[in-house]
Amino acid sequence: MTPKHTSAEPVVHARDVTMTYGDIDVLHGVDLDIHRGEVLALLGPNGAGKTTTVEILEGFRRRSAGEVSVLGTDPERGDDAWRGRIGLVLQSWRDHRRWRVAELLRHFATYYPDPRDPAELLDLVGLTDQAGRQVDRLSGGRRRRLDVALGIVGRPELLFLDEPTTGFDPEARHEFHVLVERLARDEGVTVLLTTHDLVEAERLADRIAMLVGGRIRACGTPAELARRAAAQAEVRWTADDGTSRRERTQDPSRLVWELHRHADGPIPDLEVRRPTLEDTYLHMVHREADGTGGDADEDGDTGADGEAQVA
């Protein structure tokens, strides 16, 4: 019933997905591929259509048009066997408050054909000490880790993480990142992560897709995205006269080399700042906002999309 798909076939495959609510177009043709074992982060400003895209893939919303396949099935026709291969971690869950942690996990294990061992799973998410606790007495971070445990108890092949670390303290966030990395690296779970946290996206994701104005504007590794966005590196140093200088350049190595050729010795306070994901992100979002809507700079964007699909 659940054949292992060949690694060549993407786990998520979406082509030209559109979504219209009344007169409002939320998605104008989203193309997205996620490959087996990959962690893909979906970034984008609020209202760009992230949630709609994810919920179409989760099978919770009907798209207006386009082609979607998730684990080889159209999510609109996903049956129980298909559901069993998908895990969800949503930020809006506050359910089963009265249940005890281990009790809840053991119960949800019974729905799946080949569940993880609940005790091992508690250990994996670091909740062994809380096994007998009532769910509504858990802290926010622990509650979310329990949600992750519930999301993976059925050994999903694809895991959706919706802003998983919102409200976490730095330590809890770090532990959560280690957990997700372990799932992806050791168990080959494919992950679709939506987040506003660019550091998190950069740390966890193999590839990042940027959804702006209802389209995937770019998709690739953080370095590829930076190149595509033509974001420039910044070189800072202190000149001979003691003033601090900064210059933006495509080629920081050449600039530094030239600085050294003209200098007598070491250059004080020399610093090369690579474009961060944040620079790239803001650049893309602003480009969208500057153009009059999405269609004004159609040419440039279609180019970027084309590249994204190749990557």
Partner 1 sequence: MRKTPMTNGLRAGIQRGGIELRHLLRNGKEMSGHLINVVVALLVAAYVSDDVPGTRTPMSHLVLAGFAAYLLFQIGLINFPQILVTEREEGALLRLRATPGGIPAYLVAKCLLVVVLAVGCLALLLAAAALLVDGPLPHGQGDWLTLLWVTTLGLLAVVPLGAAIGAVLPNPREALALIMLPAMGLLLTSGVVFPITSLPVPVQQVAAVFPLKWMAQGLRSALLPDAARTAEVAGSWELPMVALVLTVWAVLGFLLAVPLLRRAARRESGSRLSARHRKAEQSGALPT
- Does 94 interact with partner 1 (rule: CB under 8 A)? yes
Least distance (Å) from partner 1 to the CB of residue 100? 9
The residues with which 190 forms a beta bridge, in sequence order, are 158
Query: In the chain, helix, strand, coil percent, each to 5?
Result: 40, 25, 35
Q: Which is nearer to partner 1, 1 or 8 (CB)?
A: 1
Among 99, 168, 176, 281, binds partner 1 (CB under 8 A): 99
Q: Would you say the C-alpha torsion 43, 46, 52, 54 has a positive or negative sign?
A: positive
Measured distance CA(206)–CA(20) in Å, rounded: 30
Among 152, 88, 148, 78, residue whose Cα is nearest residue 114? 152
Measured distance CA(41)–CA(18) in Å, rounded: 20
Q: Which is nearer to partner 1, 117 or 240 (CB)?
A: 117
Q: Which stretch binds partner 1 (CB under 8 A): 14-22, 91-99, 202-210, 253-261?
A: 91-99
Tell me the number of residues near partner 1 by CB under 8 A: 34
Among 10, 49, 154, 275, binds partner 1 (CB under 8 A): 154
Among 144, 49, 32, residue whose Cα is nearest residue 93? 144
Q: Which is nearer to partner 1, 52 or 195 (CB)?
A: 52
Measured distance CA(132)–CA(118) in Å, rounded: 13
The residues with which 238 forms a beta bridge, in sequence order, are 244
Least distance (Å) from partner 1 to the CB of residue 70? 13
Residues 101-140: x where in contact with partner 1 by CB under 8 A, - otherwise, as a string:
--x---xx-xxxx---------------------------
Which parts of 66-85 interact with partner 1 (CB under 8 A)? 80-81, 83-84
Instruction: Please enumerate in sequence order all residues whose Cβ is within 8 A of that of 75, keeping only pairs 6 or more positions apart, or say none.
Output: 56, 57, 58, 59, 68, 82
- Does 12 interact with partner 1 (rule: CB under 8 A)? no
Q: Which stretch binds partner 1 (CB under 8 A): 22-30, 46-54, 197-205, 302-310?
A: 46-54
Among 9, 67, 97, 129, binds partner 1 (CB under 8 A): 97
Q: How many Cα atoms are found within 13 Å in the side-chain-facing hemisphere of 175? A: 15
Kindly list the residues in this chain that would bind partner 1 in the complex (CB under 8 A).
1, 51-52, 54-55, 58, 60-61, 80-81, 83-84, 86, 88, 90-99, 103, 107-108, 110-113, 150, 154, 162
